[in-house]
Chains A and B, each alone.
Chain A
Amino acid sequence: MRGLKGLTALGLTAVAAVGVTACGSSDSSTTESTAAKSIKVAMELPGPINDKGFNASGYAGLMNCKEQGATTTFAEKVAVPEQERTMEELAQNNDVVIGHGFEFGEPATKLAPKYPDVKFVVTSNPIPPEATNQVNVMPNSTQGAYLAGVAAGKATKSNKIGGIGGFDFPVLKSQMEALEAGAKSVNPNATTKIVYLGTFDDVSKGKEAAQSMAASGIDVIYHIADAAGIGIINGAQAAGIKAIGWGIDQNSIAPDTVIASQIVKTDVMIGAQCKAAIDGKFVGGKVVVNGLKSGVIDLTKVYNEPADVQAAVDKARTAIEDGTEKGVPEIAPGIPSTGPESN
């Protein structure tokens, strides 16, 4: 499969290059009269901006910056071997460079000292940066996954819950642990099974994974699989079981199937960094963690389920917010989910 990886990487780079050039030119025309304050913001994303999940939320963050008057550019579907080179190209022509995803931490840490006038923002990365022109923003995602677990634990009838992730990245693993902890907190009999797909793109494999879970008696499936997650919801629908979405409210994909979605508003965190850069108040060298209290993380309202499911979610939300619930797993190894909200 090495060869295949290489080939796809080549393909993705080609697409990424198209993304950079095409959007760079079309977007520059929209900034005629936004005074002298206009800054140039570029974003690099690991997947397609239309995945209705992680990458879509990053792109929404970039659009947030654009609404604030920034000129925006993006490169999507950037494969790992191309991430540093692409980031350097973006750094040469922009004021703010955003790497959307944990994996951009390494190239940003390398490039930040080399381009001291450029502000680097990396999302979903809890490692404190050394450079004063780099900020890592980290949604407190285990809080949301815990609430998803509460909903799943209450909604399951077979006491079997499934979690499907793209890859077993640390941030995904910790959310799966939070799912299990949340489910156990309201339903001690609930067991949770986790499957990793090895892809965020293969929609068909996602569907198959959901159907195989349904066959083993699981009746609520939570996913963190971006584009493949659409297949997972599709598979849950085909098997007549329930699903919990991730990223944005995914109820519209299958209204009778999706009972709730974990909201991850990375876009709000990205927009806040753009605002700081525009106002000249950007402070680097730190990790910003936002969770339930700031509304960056949440669970949508519960659809089509008895009122006690919603009540359990609301109770858990209050307990996490006021600090009485101590059972939420760490966001990443060494980063507690119970820490204060930062700005």
Chain B
Amino acid sequence: MSDLFDIVTSATLYAAAIRLALPIFLAALGETFAERAGLVNVGLEGMMLMGAFGAVLGSDVTGSALAGVAIGLLFAVLVAAIQGFVSINFGGDQIVCGIALNIGALGVTAFLVRAIWEGGNAPQVAGFSAFDLPLLANAPFVGVAVFQQGIFVYVALVLALISWWALMKTGWGLRMRGCGEDPLACESLGIPVKRLRWQAMLICGACAGLGGVFLALGQLLTFSDGMSGGRGFIALAVVIIARWSPMLAVPSALLFGAVEAFALRVQSSDLNVPPELMLALPYLATIIVYAIVVGRSNPPAALGRTYVRQ
């Protein structure tokens, strides 16, 4: 048992949990906007993948990591725009469109990697490396756990705060949430449902895209096929566990990241646990927490329902 204690009390576990949670959190944050406005966006995975691809392409072509971020976000937002046209303007089925975008992004990025780069391999590009935050980085425990990460961690925390304020404390946020509860009533009050839903969808694309950008430029400095690795789907569960709250999305994503980091460490410890069980653990934990929370969470009333202006 002392092994287990060592794992749970090591600061590097929490540093890993934060890194693993970060892309999931960003995608979940975007999805929170979309779902609060009444749109189910299953295409998170595709948006992350396009974000990651765009970031590497941009960074490779311009040599600047910042330009990579901009192009990655642009690519992801373009995917969100397709979802927007289909589900907001044409009243198409949101889930079907999302699935199509995921499949499409997987194929398009794999094709482009082979078409653009020699040998079919994306190169190593300029990105953002981890750095020590002055003073705080040397603090015991939390220094290693929190303050030796890259810039993305701090950006994500700021985004969580801004999102919570914007969605929960402003008139704009109230109107956006109204679109997810009763779009017809909103429309009758003169609230532009279509425009607000478009805003939510584009914010969603940018956030999910930033998750992909982090994987590409904050973690690996290159692109590889399917590198989003199903994180966009986990994010969908995180949104529900967080009860559609931008702030609660932080601990919800961290829970998943922590269990995943824990499972990797248990496998390489002296504890004799079957690897299959450890591989399943993050998903089992998600299901268990979901089962506990789901009864008490109220999804937006008009979530996923097609709304066409009367």
Contacts and interface: CB of A to CB of B under 8 A. Distances in A.
To the question of whether A and B form a pair in one complex, the answer is yes
Interface of A: 1, 3-4, 7-8, 10-12, 14-15, 18, 48-52, 77, 162, 168, 193-199, 201-205, 207-209, 211-213, 215-216, 218, 227, 230-231, 234
A201 B226 contact: yes
B119 interface: yes
Contact of B265 (A194, A212, A231): A212
B215 interface: yes
A208 B261 contact: yes
6 contacts: A14-B107, A195-B268, A203-B224, A204-B23, A208-B264, A212-B16
Of A52, A205, A207, which is in contact with the most chain B CB atoms at under 10 Å from its CB? Answer: A205
A51 B114 CA distance: 12
B219 interface: yes
A209 B264 contact: yes
Which of B107, B121, B268, B283 has the most A CB atoms < 10 Å from its CB? Answer: B268
Contacts of A194: 267-268, 275
Contacts of B10: 215
Interface of B: 10, 12-13, 16, 19-20, 23, 99, 102-104, 106-107, 110-111, 113-114, 119-121, 215, 219-222, 224-227, 229-230, 233, 260-261, 264-265, 267-269, 275-276, 279, 283
Given A201-B225, A204-B219, A196 B113 contact: no
B114 A18 contact: no
B287 to A, nearest CB: 10
Q: Is the interface of A mostly helix, strand, loop or mixed?
A: helix
B106 A14 contact: yes
B110 A15 contact: yes
Contacts of B121: 50, 52
A201 B228 CA distance: 9
Contact of B107 (A15, A199, A209, A212): A15
Contacts of B233: 3-4, 7
Nearest to A18: B107
Given A50-B121, A195-B264, A207-B219, A201 B283 contact: no
Contacts of B20: 208
Contact of B106 (A15, A52, A199, A207): A15
Nearest to A15: B107
Contacts of B264: 195, 208-209, 212
B106 A193 contact: no
B278 to A, nearest CB: 8
A41 B47 CA distance: 37
Contacts of B269: 193, 216
Contact of A201 (B120, B220, B227, B260): B227
A6 to B, nearest CB: 10
B275 A195 contact: yes
Contacts of A193: 267-269
A205 B229 contact: yes
A77 B268 contact: no
A45 B119 CA distance: 17
A173 to B, nearest CB: 10
A50 B224 CA distance: 9
A30 B104 CA distance: 30
A63 to B, nearest CB: 12
B149 to A, nearest CB: 12
Minimum-distance CB pairs A-B, first 6: A50-B120, A202-B229, A198-B279, A11-B103, A215-B12, A11-B106
